[in-house]
Amino acid sequence: MTFTDKPKGLQQSLDQESLLHQMINQIRRSLDLQEILTTTVSQVRLFLGADRVKIYRFDTDGSGEVIAESIHEQRLPSLLGQRFPVNDIPEAAREMFMLVGQRSIVDVANGKIGLSPLQSKETGKRLETNIHYRQVDPCHIQYLKAMGVQSSLVVPILDCDFQEQSAKPTLWGLLVAHQSEPRKILKRELQVLQQVADQVAIAIAQSNLLTAARTKQEREATINRVTTLLHKLPTVQLQGALEEVITAFNGTGGRLYIEQSQELYTWGEQPTLPYELDNNIIEHHPLWQNWMAEFKQGNVWATSDLYKEPHLRVLALAFRSTPIRGLMVIPLHYREKFIGVLSIFRCEFETEILWAGRCEQNRRQLLPQLSFELWREQKKGQSVEWKPEDISLAQALYDHFSMAIQQQQMFKQVQTLNGNLELRVQEQTYELEKSLLFTKVLKQVTEHIRRTLDLQTTLQSIVREVRALLNSDRVVIFELKSKSVIVEEINGNWQSVLGMNAPADCFPDEYTHLYSQGRVRVINNVSIASLNNCHREFLQSLQIQATLIVPINIGMEVWGLLIAHECETPRNWEDAEIDLLQQLGDQAAIAIQQAQLYEQTCNAEAEARNQAAQLEHTLHELQETQTKLIHTEKMSGLGQLVAGVAHEINNPVNFIYGNLCHASDYTEQLLEILRLYQLYYPQPHSEIKTAIKAIDFEFLVEDLPKIITSMQVGSDRIRSIVVSLRSFSRLDEAENKRVDLHEGIENTLLILQHRLKGNGEFRGIEVIKDYGNIPMVECYAGQMNQVFMNIISNAIDALEMGNRSKRDDKKIAQYPVPTIHISTRVSVDNSRLLIRISDNGAGMTEEVKKRIFDPFYTTKPVGKGTGLGLAISYQIIVEKHGGIMECISELGKGTEFWIEIPVSL
């Protein structure tokens, strides 16, 4: 881009005036600096016909960023939002931009740069628009070519503080125009761009003034809000004021610590010390306290990175578990006295910087990558810098917080004085009320003694009233005759001493003599009282810190002691409390005398009642013995009957069973002879033929072996029944021996087989056996068989009764098959055997289940049961075998009996 001063006519002058007019109107119309800059680059690009116009702003670290841009038809790549390193614009060039307002025009094709200072470096006066050309640095040429630029025009933008006449301007940024082809610049165009840059500088100054005004307004509003919260006596809202301050500083947390009361107000993120102090408060740490002592009144300390502060390296450990990085500390003083500290925290944040060379799909965008390779810089652990206005606001808040805290402390002191006065009045009122209460309690105890003659109730009432009235931890009555505590009332989780005996060696006989003379023992502190070591150790073993003892005297003898214990802390017993306890001791003596007289009167009546109770108990035992004798006799007779029947049947059955095999052989031999006769004499006599036909010889030959076989099966069945009867009765065996209980169950099922089979009215009962691998069990086998017989018989009865209620043949198929389930298992340690017998009958109600083991209780119709089966079974299992027998039943869900016996008795 070269420079020329040849005008293009009136149209260019009009464009210039229009551009300046629009710029001035935009500045007047808008207060948004970014909007003004965006309009500026758009208007300048139209005015110059440039391919790209941008505004480049310098940061405090010397690098820069394109913050506004206008491009014509994407002829050049976009640089908006990209940052450029510090070295891209040399320090010398920036000094010339700032000192003399130098403009630069670069002609890439010819390798020349034109420099046009706005004012003289020596005099500072404004110069005419002229240009000085020289060769440009090849690196600069390559830099521009990488961005696709052939012509470049740069005008500096300076920031001036119009409120301070002596303030020097600073280099704020650059107004840059780029062309993708060579172009000449007119003097007039350069002047217009300079005027535009001046207008932008005015807009920047205007924006700075607006920002400062808004900041001041926000600061005053914050101070007003905080002041309102701090001076709302009597309820100073320190917590609300703290939250308001943290919000005003854009903090993430904070805390207010008050030295005198050691109060701590917190909000938001908080540090935590990694090791234990007395209460783990950072303001109590010695390093923090020494640091606070170094501050002078009104000083404010702030850092954007507390981890870079050497004197905070120990305290910084408390912040490691938090995102806090920025810290402001405002020590609070009142008349040079340190009264607290206000701390504000700011969190660290992560930022990403896009450096020049961003890649787009447009191929033109590839050009800057020749020298600007894209890279994104991520900065972690960044913190917002504390600005001067932040420090100013902190100093303004310093006085308000100091005064508010001091006022609050003075207000609390006044409240304390008023409270002390009220407390004294309350104490006097309490003493009067206490005296009235003592009198009331004495009256209540006296009336209670008159109403009742029960000694235990009266003594319990006395200790209860005394404990509540004295507000002690434990009150007891000690009886000298038994040398033990007979009544006790405790408040809290203190050790019970009820029934405890006092060591004889610790309390000599002279103690009793002193108590009989009315001695009262007052011990305010066990650890320092004048006691022998044995006595002290005994009291301390009962957790007693203080005790008050008064005697209960009946005539000239000491009956016992009324004792109050204090277990939490030592206690100074008051005279009124001692007097009350003495009076209650006298009342206890009266109650004891009355109770003794009443006890003598009741002894005869009690003895008569005891005799009646003994007779009743004896009658009950006789009834139980009779029940057992009846059952024993019944079972003995039944066993003998079964054994006798089995014995009588056994001989003929054995005879029949033993001869049936011979009869079978003889029959086979005779039939074989008849077959041989038929073979060798096929034409028998006519009379023989007639006889053969009459007896149906062929059928007889075929059916006779079958009859013999049926007779063998029947006799075998009779023999097995006889064996089962003998085994069931167990009359030929020892009473207690090891047996296989599975055999007893099988014998019982065999005896009851006829009841398990179905008939026209009953479809039969299915028995499911779930036998476990159980050992031989040491038991009374006959009695165990009796238990099995009772339970299985009851199950069959229950299933038959349920079947009678379902007699409708059309519906009977809808109901489940009647089933008895028998299960045996042994415990894990092989010490106990579990037998479960269940049915799917109708079950029983809860009321019936509670009484099934009672003697003579039955739910069967009259004549169907005695009510002794389950009662005797329960005695056999529980008393005879030391086992467990339980019934589990629910109406409509069947019944299960649970039997558990030891493997060895």
Q: Could you please report the per-residue DSSP string of 299-359? A: --EEES-GGG-GGGTTGGGGGTTSSEEEEEEEEEEETTEEEEEEEEEEE-EEEEEEBS---
The residues, any chain, with a CB within 8 Å of residue 26's CB and separated by 6 or more, are 35, 36, 39, 40
| 371 has a pLDDT exceeding 50 | no
pLDDT computed for residue 101 by the predictor: 81
Average pLDDT on 472-477 reads 90
Measured CA distances, 246 to 256, 259, 394, 403, 840 (Å): 11, 20, 11, 19, 76
Q: How far is the C-alpha of 55 from the C-alpha of 155, rounded, in Å? A: 10
- For residue 543, the SS3 value is coil
User: 């809808």: which residue's tokens?
Assistant: 814
Q: What pLDDT, on the 0 to 100 scale, is given for residue 719?
A: 66
Residue with tokens 């020298």: 371
Q: Report yes or no: 155 and 142 within 8 Å, Cβ to Cβ.
A: no
Cis peptide before 234 (omega within 30 of 0): yes
> How many residues are listed for the chain in this entry?
905
Confidence at residue 734, expressed as pLDDT on a 0 to 100 scale: 46
Given this model, what pLDDT does residue 637 score?
52
**CA 187, 188, 193 angle in degrees (round to 5)?**
100
For residues 200 and 157, give the distance between their C-alpha atoms in angstroms, rounded to a whole number. Answer: 7
Cα separations in angstroms, 893 against 163, 764, 838, 846: 100, 19, 10, 13
Question: What 3-state class would DSSP assign to 522?
Answer: strand
895 confidence band (pLDDT: 50, 70, 90): very high
Is the confidence at residue 668, as pLDDT, over 90?
A: no
Secondary structure element (H or E) that encloses residue 103, with its range: strand 103-107
Residues β-bridged to residue 895: 839, 889
pLDDT of 627: 61
Label the pairing between strands 2-4 and 184-186.
parallel
Least confident of 184-198, 637-651, 795-809: 637-651
497: nearest Cα among 558, 583, 548, 567 = 567
- Residue spans of beta strands (DSSP E) within 468-537: 474-479, 484-490, 521-523
Q: Which residues contact 252 (CB under 8 A, 6 or more apart)?
A: 246, 268, 269, 323, 324, 345, 346, 347
Phi, psi for 658 (deg, rounded to 5)? -70, -30
Nearest to 490 by CA among 387, 572, 568, 378: 568
Decide if pLDDT at 166 tops 60: yes
Separation of alpha carbons 766 and 817, rounded Å: 7
Average pLDDT over residues 473-498: 88
Q: How far apart are the C-alpha atoms of 131 and 184, rounded to whole Å?
A: 13
What six digits make up the tokens of 580? 């009350």
Question: In a 3-state reduction of DSSP, which class is residue 113?
Answer: strand
What is the rounded distance in angstroms from the CA atom of residue 342 to the CA atom of residue 345?
Answer: 10
Pick left, alpha or beta for residue 731 (phi over 0 → left; psi -120 to 50 → alpha; otherwise beta): alpha
Angle at 695 between CA 690 and CA 701, to 5 degrees: 120
CA atoms of 223 and 211, how far apart (whole Å) = 18
Helical segments of 131-233, H only: 138-146, 187-230
- The CA-to-CA distance between both ends of the chain, in Å, stands at 120
Q: pLDDT at residue 729 above 60? A: no
What pLDDT score was predicted for residue 9? Answer: 46
Look at residue 812 and tell me whether its pLDDT is greater than 60: no
H or E element: which one contains 410? helix 388-451
Quick one: tokens of 273? 């010390």
Q: Identify the sign of the CA torsion 284, 285, 290, 291.
A: negative
The phi, psi pair for 466, rounded to 5°, reads -65, -45
Q: Specify which of 337-341, 573-577, 583-587, 697-701 reaches the highest per-range mean pLDDT.
A: 337-341
pLDDT in tens, 536-583: 888 888 888 999 988 988 877 888 888 899 998 998 988 878 887 887
pLDDT digits (tens, 9 = 90+) for 503-518: 777 777 777 778 877 7
Label residue 722 by pLDDT band (50, 70, 90).
low
- Distance from C-alpha of 30 to C-alpha of 33, rounded to nearest angstrom: 8
Residue 159, C-beta contacts closer than 8 angstroms, at least 6 positions apart: 169, 170, 171, 172, 201, 204, 205, 208
* Chain-centre distance for alpha carbon 625: 60
251 touches 345 (CB < 8 A): yes
CA-based nearest residue to 55, from 35, 36, 77, 37:
37
Distance CA(733)–CA(166), nearest Å, equals 132
Q: Which has the minimum average pLDDT: 218-227, 408-417, 804-813, 860-869? A: 804-813
96-100, 681-685, 803-807: least confidently modelled range: 803-807
pLDDT > 70 fraction of the chain, expressed in percent and rounded: 81
pLDDT of residue 717: 64
Secondary structure element (H or E) that encloses residue 378, with its range: strand 376-382
Give the C-alpha separation, 712 to 707, whole Å. Answer: 9
Question: Closest Cα partner for 529 from 512, 550, 549?
Answer: 549
pLDDT in tens, 605-625: 777 788 878 877 777 677 666
CB atoms within 10 A of CB 750: 18
Q: What is the pLDDT of residue 774?
A: 92
Q: How far apart are CA 471 and CA 548, in angstroms?
A: 13
* 3-class SS of residue 264: strand
Angle at 262 between CA 257 and CA 266, to 5 degrees: 40
Q: What is the tens place of the pLDDT at every residue in 220-238? A: 777 778 777 777 766 778 8
Among 162-176, 349-363, 873-887, the range scoring the smallest mean pLDDT is 349-363
- With CA atoms as reference, report the closest residue to 55 among 268, 201, 209: 201
Per-residue DSSP letters for 682-721?
A: -S--HHHHHHHHHTTHHHHHHHHHHHHHHHHHHHHHHHHH
- pLDDT confidence of residue 755: 82
Residue type, 620: H
Q: What is the pLDDT confidence band of residue 374, given thresholds at 50, 70 and 90?
A: very low
Paired tokens of 106? 């670069």
User: How far apart (Å, rounded) are the C-alpha atoms in residues 71 and 51?
Assistant: 6
Residue 517: which residues within 8 A CB-CB, separation 6 or more? none
Band of residue 11 on the pLDDT scale cut at 50, 70, 90 = low
Listed in sequence order, the residues at least 6 apart from 882 whose beta carbon sits closer than 8 Å to its beta carbon are 901, 902, 905
pLDDT tens track for 41-94: 988 888 888 999 999 999 887 888 899 999 988 888 888 888 887 777 888 888
Query: Looking at residue 600, what is its pLDDT?
Result: 75
Contact 738, 776 (CB under 8 A): yes
Greatest mean pLDDT among 109-113, 643-647, 677-681, 705-709 lies in: 109-113
Range among 122-126, 413-417, 431-435, 899-903 with highest mean pLDDT value: 899-903
Residue 256 pLDDT? 92
pLDDT exceeds cutoff 50 at 365: no
- Given a cut of 60, whether residue 831 has pLDDT beyond it is yes
DSSP state of 812: G
3-state secondary structure of 160: coil
Instruction: For residue 328, give the amino acid letter.
Output: M
Q: Which residue has the tokens 């007979």?
A: 486
The string of pLDDT tens digits covering residues 295-315 is 888 888 998 888 888 888 888
pLDDT confidence of residue 3: 46
Name the more confident of 504 and 183.
183
Asked if 405 and 258 touch (Cβ cutoff 8 Å), the reply is: yes
What mean pLDDT value characterizes the chain? 79
Average pLDDT for residues 817-829, to the nearest whole number?
Answer: 92
What is the Cα–Cα distance from 565 to 476, expressed in whole angstroms? 8
In the 8-state DSSP scheme, what is residue 501? Answer: B
In angstroms, rounded to a whole number, what is the distance separating the alpha carbons of residues 779 and 776? 9
